[in-house]
């Protein structure tokens, strides 16, 4: 079941069973009827809530925020009511399909609403307000008002540490006002979670992966242990290059890296500082600059999206519907406030699929388009499943589908296949290519892990509101090995400066996706008979791979995710060794470069 029921989802209250003084065990037939009622009601309300959210995201006003909050409150209240009622059938012997649907109903809500009158409306109002506060956030720098997009552009290109510090800190002035609302939302969600039988909201989130919540927490630690050595190797190399550029006073040769020097507002991807850390190798650079190539070849946002669509159709999947082109937000409107954070939408759970982006003609958005369309193709593939099953095998799968395609889309092999470049670079240029990829893919892994590690601590009560910021930076240092450019103010709420916190979007899905995508890539390239290095493999045009890929997509959430994984890859466990396989040449090269360095922080 889709987890767009973040602070949204409702259904009419239905009372099952006999009077309180005469408890009667429900029958299997009642359980089946209950599921059918829940599916029909939630499906109807879901479309209304989706459309209200779309309007607010593409036209932010007081009125659209009110409409979204109202629709969200209704569906959230109903979904939570169904989740509570589903627990009545826990001891009933039902068929496997009904049992899976009951389980998904119980755990399919990100922010469950308490049964207290007015709680659903309050949660929805806070959620919409937080999202809009983030999306309309601005700050002043050198007398000019900057949006997040403006700030990101400066941070990506500036090599002045005084300027990067000012921009990094400036964006974080938009989030302190969110902290009180956020703390209230956590309290409400935890109350709702306890009514469903969970100890807190974090326990619900960890229950989504077809294993006990505590087992999933251990699983994330296991996966991190597989990739942590490579991350430390990359961190060590990048820190040394930053030290050489800026000197000890700005970036010491040992210890954590100053977060604002990494070219990204959240230091989650480091590709923007490739010029600072570019490998000095025999083959030189990549041999092309995709940003410049896209412009030179006359690409505009529409052509970029058409190109992304072309990858999926080359695998044998159907073209996007005409309504996609008529209804998507592909470029930023000039006349209103919108949410620019890229996302993919399925408004009617059938065919009304769209993307929402403020697309720029550059390599980053070229890759993002391939990623977002992965969501849309997944949504359409499972549209014939029962409503509860219209979702990814787990939320990490939903992110990994487009990421897997983007792995091919990032290769020079693919760029040559679609005539963006005339020849592929030589093998001597593999290290520069892998470095660019690692600066985004490997650098992201600890951030992908820590966002929800922080939220789990907040939900559990381990971290109180006055400790939010310190706990955040403790995790940033522990996992990423980073430090802020200066002391943070007492009222800082730096987690709120990342969209997924005020937007209430679970984040562990992205960590999982950064593992799954490489498993998908390794399996697909094996199916395609690819004999070269994994990082040069493109499955563009391979319809045999497309058949197995589509078979996994069509399953939706109808089976536990290991079965979906097996359908495409033949494997049933998450294995980060595929990440190591992809980056093996770079890891060996980094080890040589880091000889004599004091790695770690």
CB-based burial of residue 528 (10 Å sphere; 0-12 exposed, 13-18 middle, 19+ buried)?
Answer: middle
Sign, Cα dihedral of 561, 563, 565, 567: negative
Strands 343-346 and 353-356: antiparallel
- The neighbouring-strand residues paired with 139 are 146
Q: Which residue is catalytic, options 33, 217, 342, 471?
A: 342
Q: Which of 372, 409, 513, 524 is catalytic?
A: 372
Closest to 408 (Cα-Cα) out of 314, 324, 319, 316: 314
Per-residue three-class SS string for 72-118: HHHHHHHHHHHHHHHHHHCCCCCCHHHHHHHHHHHHCCCCCCCCCCC
535 is catalytic: no
Q: Are 59 and 336 in contact (CB under 8 A)?
A: yes
Q: Which residues pair with 329 in a beta bridge?
A: 356
* Catalytic choice (375, 398, 514, 535): 375
Report the distance separating Cα 573 and Cα 501, nearest Å.
29
562 vs 175: CA distance, rounded Å:
39
Host H or E run for residue 343:
strand 343-346
Query: Kindly report the CA angle at 218 between 212 and 219, in degrees rounded to 5?
Result: 85
Which distant-in-sequence residues (6+ apart) come within 8 Å of 406 by Cβ? 367, 368, 370, 371, 374, 517
Write down the residue that tokens 């593999």 correspond to: 430
Q: Which residues of 47-75 are buried (b: 16+ CB within 10 A; e: fewer)?
A: bebbbbbbbbbbbbeeebbebbbbbbbbb
510 is catalytic: yes
443 is catalytic: no
Spatial separation of the C-alpha atoms in residues 387 and 480, rounded to whole Å: 39
Whether 371 is catalytic is yes
Catalytic residue among 510, 516, 540, 582: 510
Structure tokens at 5: 């029921």
Burial class (CB in 10 A: 0-12, 13-18, 19+), 325: middle
Q: How far apart are CA 171 and CA 563, in angstroms?
A: 43
Residue among 30, 274, 341, 471 flagged as catalytic: 341
Residue whose tokens read 């087992």: 215
**Which 3 state secondary structure label does DSSP give 307?**
helix
Pairing of strands 257-258, 482-483: parallel
Catalytic residue among 500, 513, 540, 582: 500
Nearest to 570 by CA among 582, 544, 552: 552
403, 413, 368, 374: which is closest to 537 by C-alpha? 413
How many angstroms from the chain centroid is the CA of residue 531?
A: 31
Helix and strand counts by DSSP (H, E) for the chain:
22, 6
Phi then psi dihedrals of residue 23, to 5 deg:
-65, 135
In this structure, are strands 144-147 and 138-141 parallel, antiparallel, or unpaired?
Answer: antiparallel
Task: Please identify which of the residues 399, 409, 507, 524 carries the catalytic annotation.
Answer: 399
235 is catalytic: no
Residues that are catalytic: 341-342, 371-372, 375, 399, 500, 510
């Amino acid at each position: 079941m889709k987890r767009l029921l973040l602070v949204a989802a409702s259904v009419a209250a239905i009372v099952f069973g006999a009077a309180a003084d005469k408890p009667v065990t429900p029958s299997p037939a009642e359980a089946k009827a209950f599921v059918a009622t829940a599916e029909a009601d939630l499906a109807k309300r879901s479309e209304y809530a989706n459309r209200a959210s779309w309007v607010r995201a593409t036209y932010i006003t007081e009125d659209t925020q009110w409409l979204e909050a109202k629709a969200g409150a209704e569906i959230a209240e109903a979904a939570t009511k169904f989740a509570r009622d589903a627990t009545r059938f826990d001891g009933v012997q039902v068929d496997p399909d009904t049992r899976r649907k009951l389980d998904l109903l119980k755990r399919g809500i990100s922010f469950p609403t308490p049964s207290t009158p007015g709680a659903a409306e309050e949660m929805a109002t806070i959620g919409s307000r937080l999202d809009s506060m983030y999306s309309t956030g601005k700050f002043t720098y050198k007398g000019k008002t900057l949006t997040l997009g403006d700030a990101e552009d400066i941070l990506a290109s500036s090599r002045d540490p005084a300027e990067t510090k000012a921009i990094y800190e400036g964006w974080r002035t938009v989030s302190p006002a969110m902290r009180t609302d956020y703390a209230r939302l956590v309290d409400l969600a935890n109350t709702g979670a306890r009514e469903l039988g969970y100890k807190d909201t974090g326990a619900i989130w960890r229950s989504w992966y077809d294993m006990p919540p505590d087992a999933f927490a251990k699983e994330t630690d296991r996966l991190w242990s597989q990739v942590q050595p490579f991350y430390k190797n990359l961190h060590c190399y990048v820190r040394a290059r930053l030290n050489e550029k800026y000197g000890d006073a700005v970036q010491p040769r040992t210890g954590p890296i100053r977060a604002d020097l990494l070219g990204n507002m959240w230091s989650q991807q480091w590709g923007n500082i490739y010029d600072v850390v570019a490998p000095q190798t025999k083959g030189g650079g990549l041999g092309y600059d995709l940003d410049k190539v896209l412009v030179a070849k006359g690409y505009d946002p529409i052509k970029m999206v058409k190109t992304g669509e072309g990858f999926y159709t080359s695998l044998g999947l159907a073209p996007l519907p005409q309504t996609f082109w008529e209804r998507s937000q592909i470029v930023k409107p000039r006349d209103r406030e919108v949410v620019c954070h890229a996302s993919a939408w399925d408004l009617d759970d059938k065919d009304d699929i769209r993307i929402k982006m403020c697309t720029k003609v550059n390599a980053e958005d070229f890759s993002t388009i391939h990623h977002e369309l992965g969501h849309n193709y997944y949504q359409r593939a499972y549209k014939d499943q029962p409503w509860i099953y219209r979702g990814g095998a787990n939320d990490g799968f939903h992110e990994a589908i487009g990421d897997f395609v983007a792995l091919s889309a990032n290769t020079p092999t693919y760029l040559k296949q679609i005539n963006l470049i005339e020849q592929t670079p030589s093998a001597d240029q593999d290290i520069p290519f892998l470095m660019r990829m690692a600066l985004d893919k490997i650098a992201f892994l600890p951030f992908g892990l820590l966002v929800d590690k922080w939220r789990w601590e907040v939900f559990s009560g381990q971290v109180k509101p006055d400790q939010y910021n310190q706990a955040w930076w403790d995790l940033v240092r522990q996992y990423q090995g980073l430090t802020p450019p200066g002391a943070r103010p007492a009222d800082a709420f730096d987690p709120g400066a990342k969209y997924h916190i005020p937007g209430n979007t679970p984040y562990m899905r992205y960590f999982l996706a950064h593992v799954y995508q490489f498993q998908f890539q390794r399996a697909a390239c094996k199916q395609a008979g690819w004999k070269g290095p994994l990082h040069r493999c493109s499955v563009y045009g391979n319809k045999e791979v497309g058949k197995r890929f589509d078979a996994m997509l069509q399953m939706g959430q109808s089976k536990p995710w290991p079965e979906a994984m097996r359908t495409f890859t033949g494997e049933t466990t998450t294995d980060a060794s595929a990440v190591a396989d992809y980056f093996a040449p770079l890891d060996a090269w980094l080890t040589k470069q880091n000889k004599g360095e004091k790695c770690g922080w």
